[in-house]
Structure 1
């Protein structure tokens, strides 16, 4: 507690991301397809269909976690996908999926992705062959490496510090080359949260105004849309999902 009697702001470094509860998180959120998943997949599929099949040499999934469907979607346009993940538990799960084949529960997700984008490989296994799981975080990203980058439920879900949230979003933008494209999803107004009965994880409640304040000075062609709160998900305190696309401007 601070001297004023209020809890100190928790930042990314204050949480043990190596101990992220992968099994419970998947059970609560991804063992079946929720309406919000359909909404995010439809939005992101439209983003990737802007590009020719396999037209992007290298793309990024920042803070990949154990969620495979953003990686599926990228496989229609990208020849090489870096799934960047700092947490040991999430990274181990990703590597198992890539090495031993994806769990059956991901099959309906890929069926929807494939229906929306026929350019995707014939099977989920083929799509994941383009994915490379890499341990790391935004602090180590080189400037301009990627043709496009994706980030889903990350920047707002790892810190209570708005300044750190802003810096993480800035690193996300800088990861793509000038003219490179960005797609992202954010939990709207989500406070710090629990997965099941585990510890409290830090989060920064953001809304459309906050996203526009962060991304407008750093990008062009910015769009922000919204999905209504999904009552089929656990109660995290959010009010919905915000979906973003943008482009890094030329110098």
Structure 2
């Protein structure tokens, strides 16, 4: 595979990617061993969004993190409200990683929880015990969600729909499948790499949808979601760029249309 903007004739599709060769250890080493400033900002904004929407609802909801990969902070952000959190993931290596995290997640996730605890909804309980009971790694495809009934009350999708394909059509379908399984009114948070040229994990290159910008993201959600302008965040300062080959990150927080 090659990285960079694809030609219209030969985009790399999700089915072409060797996902079972994805190396979660290398990915974590590149991204999450130390909390980056941009992740702290994302976690803070998602925390505030879920707290505003879910405060007082009790811990009875079903959550889903789509394309969980080796990233726990989206599921940790849903933890105060969810009895069950489905960690949907296609890569067998990532499923194994998530299963290993269930008994007691690694210490490098503690700084992310510390940021979440700045809101009182995240205090007064043992997050590792809650995660152990709630987290359910499930091997499955984002695109299979389009064939399921809406059944989740809150959801996240972080750096997935644009990071599994070079096809803009597949990106749009991925967003629609994510939204399809959320119940009406469900709050959600989703993050995307802007103009990504692809990314390296270990010795392998993985594709990305280069066309992604704020306009494309909002167009993909328009049919399915209520999104306030104040809940669309483009992070493109130098400190927000985590590697070469992208121009920023886009975070969208909203709720599923009725």
Structure 2 length-normalised TM: 0.88
Q: Which residue of 2 aligns with 1:239?
A: 247
Q: Which residue of 1 aligns with 2:126?
A: 123
Distance 2:127 2:98 in 1: 14
Q: Is the 8 A contact 1:28 1:233 kept in 2?
A: no
Q: Which residue of 2 aligns with 1:204?
A: 209
Trace 1:57-206 onto structure 2 (pairs within 5 A). 57-99=61-103, 101-120=104-123, 122-129=125-132, 130-141=134-145, 142-196=148-202, 198-205=203-210, 206=212
Distance 1:159 1:179 in 2: 29
Which ranges of structure 2 fall in alignment gaps of 5 or more residues? 2-6
Q: Is the 8 A contact 1:54 1:79 kept in 2?
A: no
The yes-or-no answer on 1:224 pairing with 2:232 is yes
Question: SS state of the match for residue 162, structure 2?
Answer: helix
Q: Is the 8 A contact 1:221 1:246 kept in 2?
A: yes
Question: SS state of the match for residue 95, structure 2?
Answer: helix
- Aligned-residue offset at 1:116: 2.9
Structure 1 length-normalised TM: 0.90
Distance 2:62 2:223 in 1: 25
Q: Deviations over 1:9-44 (max 9, x none)?
A: 101111111111111111111001110110110011
Q: Which residue of 2 aligns with 1:32?
A: 34
Distance 1:121 1:9 in 2: 48
- Aligned-residue offset at 1:104: 1.4
Which ranges of structure 1 fall in alignment gaps of 5 or more residues? none
Distance 1:103 1:233 in 2: 25
Q: Is the 8 A contact 1:34 1:233 kept in 2?
A: no
Distance 2:178 2:222 in 1: 14
Q: Is the 8 A contact 2:163 2:206 kept in 1?
A: yes
Q: Which residue of 1 aligns with 2:50?
A: 48
C-alpha RMSD of the superposition:
2.0
Distance 1:122 1:236 in 2: 39
- Aligned-residue offset at 1:140: 2.5
Aligned residues: 244
- Aligned-residue offset at 1:189: 1.3
The yes-or-no answer on 1:22 pairing with 2:27 is no
